Structure 1
Amino acid sequence: MAVSPSAIQAPEHVQEHGEVFTRRWVVDLILDLVGYSADRDLVGMRAIEPACGSGAFLVAMIERLMDSSRRHGRDLREAYGALAAIDLVPRNVGLSQAMARETLHSAGVRRNVAQELADAWIRQGDFLLEPPTEHSTDFVVGNPPYVRLEAVPRDRSEAYRMACQTMGGRADVYIGFYEHGLRALRDGGVLGFICADRWMRNGYGARLRAMVSGGWAVETVISMTGVDAFEDEVDAYPAITTFRREPQANGPLVVEASPSFGPSEASEVGALAAKSTADHVHKPAFRGARLGTWFSGSAGWPHGSPDRLALIADLEARYPSLEDETTGTKVGIGVATGADRVFITENPELVEPERLLPLALPRDIASGEVQWSGKYLVNPWNADGLVALEEWPRLSEYLSQHRELLAKRHTAKSGRWHKTIDRVIEGLVDCEKLYLPDFKEAIFPVRDSGRTYPHHNLYWVTSDKWDLRVLGGLLLSDVAGLFIEAYSVRMRGGYLRFQAQYLRRIRVPDIDAIEAETATALVYAFDRRDRQEATRLALPLYGLESLPD
Structure 2
Amino acid sequence: MSNEFQFGENPDKFEVTKDLIEEVKNNPPKLDDLDGYQGHPIKGVGDVYTPVEIVTFILDNIGFNKEANIEDRTIIDLSCGTGSFIREIVRRIRSRLIEKGLDPSNPEDAETIVNTITENVYASDLNSIAIWRTAQVVIDELIEEIELLDQNDPVLELKFYNDNSLLPTFNYGIDGFDFIVGNPPYIKNSEIKPEIDDIYRSEYETAKGKYDLYSVFFERGIDLLNNGGKFGFVTPDRFFRADYGEPLRSKILSDTHIKALIDLEDDPFPKVDAYPVITIFEKEDKSFPRYQVDNSFYYCTAETDDLSEISVFDQDLVHFDNGMDCVEYNQSDLDQSAWDLQKPEIKKVKSALEDKLIRFDKLPIDIRAGIATAADDVFIINKQTANKLEDDILVPVIRGRDVQKGSTSWDDSYIINPYRHDKSVVNISEYPKTKSYLSKYKSKLEDRYCVRERNKRWYETHDTIDYNQETKRRIITPDVTSDNRFAIVEGSISHNTCYSIYYEGDLELLIGYLNSSVFRYLLKSSMPEIRTGYWRQMKRDLKQIPVIDPSIYTAEQRDEMIRLVSQKDWDKIDDVIYRILDVPDAHINVIESF
CA gap of 1:423–1:136, structure 2 versus 1, over 3 A, is farther
Query: 1:387 is paired with a residue of what secondary structure?
Result: coil
Measure the CA separation in 1 of the matches of 2:537 and 2:412.
Answer: 26
Residue number in structure 2 paired with 1:56: 88
Match of 2:122 among 71, 80, 85: 85
Measure the CA separation in 2 of the matches of 1:237 and 1:172.
Answer: 13
Give runs of aligned pairs for residues 132-531 of structure 1, distance below 5 A: 137=176, 139-144=178-183, 177-185=217-225, 190-193=230-233, 195=234, 197=235, 199-201=236-238, 209-217=245-253, 219-224=259-264, 239-243=277-281, 253-258=298-303, 261=306, 263=308, 265-267=309-311, 269-270=312-313, 283-284=321-322, 286-290=324-328, 306=343, 324=361, 326-337=362-373, 338=375, 339-341=379-381, 350-351=391-392, 368-369=406-407, 379-381=417-419, 385-387=423-425, 389=427, 395=430, 399-402=434-437, 404-405=439-440, 407-408=442-443, 409=445, 410=448, 411-413=450-452, 414=455, 416-425=457-466, 427-429=468-470, 431-437=472-478, 442-448=483-489, 451-456=491-496, 458-464=498-504, 467-482=506-521, 483-484=523-524, 487-489=528-530, 499-500=537-538, 504=542, 507-509=545-547, 511=549, 514-516=552-554, 522-531=561-570
Measure the CA separation in 2 of the matches of 1:9 and 1:395.
Answer: 67
Q: Percent identity?
A: 16
Query: 1:460 is paired with a residue of what secondary structure?
Result: strand
By how many angstroms is 1:476 displaced?
0.8
Query: 1:216 is paired with a residue of what secondary structure?
Result: helix
Query: 1:332 is paired with a residue of what secondary structure?
Result: strand
* Letter aligned with residue 249 of structure 2: S
Residues 46 and 139, structure 1, Cα contact 8 Å, conserved in 2: yes
Give ranges in structure 1 of 5+ residues lacking alignment. 68-78, 104-110, 112-118, 230-234
* Letter aligned with residue 221 of structure 2: G
By how many angstroms is 1:340 displaced?
2.8
Residue number in structure 2 paired with 1:108: none
TM-score by length of 2: 0.57
Measure the CA separation in 1 of the matches of 2:134 and 2:485.
Answer: 53
CA gap of 1:182–1:360, structure 2 versus 1, over 3 A, is same
Listed one character per residue, the Cα deviations across residues 365-393 of structure 1 (whole Å, up to 9, x for unaligned) are: 6683579899876643358743363xxx9
CA gap of 1:302–1:87, structure 2 versus 1, over 3 A, is same
* Letter aligned with residue 209 of structure 1: G
Measure the CA separation in 2 of the matches of 1:48 and 1:91.
Answer: 16
CA gap of 1:93–1:200, structure 2 versus 1, over 3 A, is same
* Letter aligned with residue 371 of structure 2: V
Aligned residue pairs, count: 488
TM-score by length of 1: 0.61
Listed one character per residue, the Cα deviations across residues 430-480 of structure 1 (whole Å, up to 9, x for unaligned) are: 6442122467663221123x554434454311235x543333122212343
* Letter aligned with residue 567 of structure 2: R
CA gap of 1:186–1:459, structure 2 versus 1, over 3 A, is same
Listed one character per residue, the Cα deviations across residues 43-81 of structure 1 (whole Å, up to 9, x for unaligned) are: 99976554475453467589999x9xxxxxxxxxxx99x
By how many angstroms is 1:508 displaced?
1.6
Measure the CA separation in 2 of the matches of 1:188 and 1:523.
Answer: 61
By how many angstroms is 1:416 displaced?
0.8
Listed one character per residue, the Cα deviations across residues 72-100 of structure 1 (whole Å, up to 9, x for unaligned) are: xxxxxxx99x9663356368569769989
Residues 137 and 184, structure 1, Cα contact 8 Å, conserved in 2: yes
* Letter aligned with residue 365 of structure 2: T
Say which is worse superposed, 157-166 or 404-413, in terms of deviation: 157-166
By how many angstroms is 1:419 displaced?
1.6
Residues 47 and 137, structure 1, Cα contact 8 Å, conserved in 2: no
Residues 481 and 535, structure 2, Cα contact 8 Å, conserved in 1: yes
Q: CA RMSD in A?
A: 6.4
* Letter aligned with residue 454 of structure 1: S
Residues 291 and 309, structure 1, Cα contact 8 Å, conserved in 2: no
CA gap of 1:143–1:386, structure 2 versus 1, over 3 A, is same
CA gap of 1:178–1:366, structure 2 versus 1, over 3 A, is closer
Measure the CA separation in 2 of the matches of 1:143 and 1:250.
Answer: 24
CA gap of 1:332–1:238, structure 2 versus 1, over 3 A, is closer
Query: 2:520 is paired with a residue of what secondary structure?
Result: helix
CA gap of 1:376–1:30, structure 2 versus 1, over 3 A, is closer
